[in-house]
Amino acid sequence: MTESNETPNTQEAGDESKHRRIKSFVMRAGRMTEGQQKGLEQGTPLFVLPLADAPVDYDQVFGRSAPRSLEIGFGMGHSLLEMAAAAPEQDFIGVEVHRPGVGALLNGVLTQGLTNLRVYDCDAIEVLNRCIADNSLDRLMLFFPDPWHKARHHKRRIVQASFAELVRSKLKVGGILHMATDWEPYAEYMLEVMNVAPGYRNLAEDGKCVPRPAERPITKFERRGERLGHGVWDLKFEKLA
């Protein structure tokens, strides 16, 4: 799970046309533990998928047809691992560029013997554009992305109108975009973006945020914030026909 103080999010980079575009992360270095290194070495050949040039047949990858969720920026992977272990009847795809986090998740997958989780260790926007077929995901999760607090950095936030449209194209009708943040101004900003994004319905009864869904595990980061009196805001938007 992407935690707002440590993990990949958006940055600008020049493309071939010399125009700037939004990427889904900022690369951050980190020390590698023995377990994380083991996860990378042993888990990469089994569970890390290459960036493809055409939509991937995930029924073939997982060997079945099942409800499928994708999480952008899973951080150290604790929540994604817990969700995959709790729902063996579902398939999960995680995207993260933070190498220690990828290693930690893979080590957990190996330790628990999970078969319903695959990983991309590259830019999530590239994964969505190149690997995910339209109308194929049941759920997309974005938990605790970097809010880029300063106004001049708001353009670096991953939640933008273009992101909402890209996600909508990849969700099935009735599919869910589930976002969570521990910074209330970012929750308000997300609502501003999503409330005018075409083709979505806010699932909150009050048109704002939903109560914390039971399927989203509480992280140590979140528990620490709760003890300090910090809030967490969950947003759920359903793709309409």
Query: Is 182 assigned to a binding site?
Result: yes
Closest CA to 51 of 81, 110, 93, 101: 93
Query: Is 150 assigned to a binding site?
Result: yes
Cα 3 to the chain's mean position, in Å? 11
CA distance 111 to 125: 29
Given this model, what pLDDT does residue 164 score? 98
Cβ-based neighbour number of residue 236 at 10 Å: 19
Longest dimension (CA), the chain: 48
Q: Of 228 and 30, which is predicted with more confidence?
A: 228
Q: Of 30 and 41, which is predicted with more confidence?
A: 41
Residues with a catalytic annotation lie at: 146
CA distance 197 to 193: 6
* pLDDT tens digits for range 41-83: 999 999 999 999 999 999 999 999 999 999 999 999 999 999 9
**pLDDT surpasses 90 at 219:** no
Given this model, what pLDDT does residue 29 score? 54
Cα 231 to the chain's mean position, in Å? 20
Query: Is 205 assigned to a binding site?
Result: no
* Nearest-10 crossing angle of helices 161-170, 184-195: 70
At 24, is the pLDDT very low, low, confident or very high (cuts 50, 70, 90)?
A: low
Global pTM reads 0.87
Given this model, what pLDDT does residue 39 score? 98
Given this model, what pLDDT does residue 6 score? 37
Query: Is 221 assigned to a binding site?
Result: yes
What average pLDDT is seen over the chain? Answer: 89
CA distance 106 to 81: 9
